[in-house]
Amino acid sequence: MRALALACAAMATPAWAEPAVADPDPDPTVESTALTPAQAYEDFDLAVAAVEAALPDLYWHQSRRQWRRAKTAARAHLADADDSADLYRQLRPLLSQVGEGHMSLQRTAAMKRSERAATRMLPIDIHWNEAVGADPARREETRAYVIAGYGDAATIAPGTRLLAIDGEPVTKLIEELTGALGRDGRNLTAAMREGEGRGYAQVRNRMRDAQASYRLSLMSADGRVEERVVDAIAYDARPMPADEQTSPVATLEWLDARTAYMSVPSFSNKAYKRAGADFHGTIQGLFDQLRQRGARDLILDLRRNGGGSEPNESILYSYLMQAPLHKYAAVEARAARLDVTSASGKRFAMQVFDEEDLAQQRALGNGRYTRLNRPPEGLMTHWTVSAPVYRGRLVVLVGGRTFSGGAELASMLRHVRRGVLVGEEVGGAHHGNTSGYEWRIELPNSRMTLLVPLLQFRMNWPALPSGGGVRPACAVPPEVAELDVTRDRAWRTAVALLGQSWRRPQQARCPP
- pLDDT for 296-307, tens place per residue? 999 999 999 999
User: What is the spatial distance between Cα 164 and Cα 158, in angstroms, rounded to a whole number?
Assistant: 16
Q: Please classify residue 344 by burial: count the beta carbons closer than 10 Å to its beta carbon, then call 0-12 exposed, 13-18 middle and 19+ buried.
A: exposed
User: What is the spatial distance between Cα 453 and Cα 433, in angstroms, rounded to a whole number?
Assistant: 9
Per-residue confidence at 243, pLDDT binned at 50, 70, 90?
low
> Mean per-residue pLDDT for 350-376?
95
User: What is the spatial distance between Cα 18 and Cα 244, in angstroms, rounded to a whole number?
Assistant: 21
Question: Given the DSSP bridges, would you call strands 393-398 and 369-371 parallel, antiparallel or unpaired?
Answer: unpaired
pLDDT of residue 119: 77
Q: Is the four-CA dihedral 444, 449, 452, 453 of positive or negative sign?
A: positive
Q: How far is CA 41 from the centre of its chain?
A: 29
Q: Please classify residue 282 by burial: count the beta carbons closer than 10 Å to its beta carbon, then call 0-12 exposed, 13-18 middle and 19+ buried.
A: middle
| Cα–Cα distances in angstroms (integers) from residue 344 to residues 90, 145, 354, in the given order | 21, 48, 29
The residues that bridge with 234 in the sheet, in sequence order, are: 120
pLDDT of residue 382: 95
As a whole-number percent, the residues of the chain with pLDDT over 70 amount to 91
**Host H or E run for residue 281:** helix 279-292
pLDDT at 424 over 90: yes
pLDDT at 237 over 80: yes
> Mean per-residue pLDDT for 380-401?
96
pLDDT of residue 31: 73
Worst-scoring range by mean pLDDT, 32-41, 112-121, 268-277, 476-485? 112-121
pLDDT of residue 132: 58
**Host H or E run for residue 393:** strand 393-398
pLDDT of residue 115: 84
Q: Is the four-CA dihedral 433, 439, 443, 447 of positive or negative sign?
A: positive
> Mean per-residue pLDDT for 154-183?
95
Dihedral (Cα; 210, 214, 218, 220), 10-degree rounding: 100
pLDDT of residue 293: 97
What proportions of the chain, in percent to the nearest 5, are helix, strand and coil? Answer: 30, 25, 45
pLDDT at 22 over 50: no
pLDDT of residue 365: 85
As a whole-number percent, the residues of the chain with pLDDT over 90 amount to 83
Per-residue confidence at 32, pLDDT binned at 50, 70, 90?
confident
pLDDT at 26 over 60: no
pLDDT of residue 182: 87
Per-residue confidence at 4, pLDDT binned at 50, 70, 90?
very low
**Within 13 A of 61's CA, how many CA atoms are on the CB side?**
27
pLDDT at 20 over 50: no
pLDDT at 432 over 90: yes
pLDDT of residue 186: 87
| Cα–Cα distances in angstroms (integers) from residue 152 to residues 107, 144, 211, 309, in the given order | 30, 19, 15, 45
Phi/psi of residue 77, nearest 5 degrees: -80, 0
DSSP state of 483: T
pLDDT at 92 over 60: yes
Question: Helices (DSSP H) in 61-141: which residue ranges?
Answer: 64-76, 84-97, 109-118
pLDDT of residue 131: 66
Per-residue confidence at 512, pLDDT binned at 50, 70, 90?
confident
pLDDT at 62 over 50: yes
The mean predicted confidence, pLDDT, of the chain is 91
Long-range contact list for 175-181, CB < 8 A, 24+ apart? 176/203, 176/204, 176/207, 177/128, 177/203, 178/96, 179/92, 179/93, 179/96, 179/97, 179/207, 180/92, 180/93, 180/96, 180/206, 180/207, 181/96
Worst-scoring range by mean pLDDT, 109-118, 311-320, 365-374, 470-479? 109-118
pLDDT at 3 over 60: no
pLDDT at 135 over 80: no
> Mean per-residue pLDDT for 197-218?
93
pLDDT of residue 240: 76
pLDDT at 133 over 70: no
Per-residue confidence at 138, pLDDT binned at 50, 70, 90?
very low
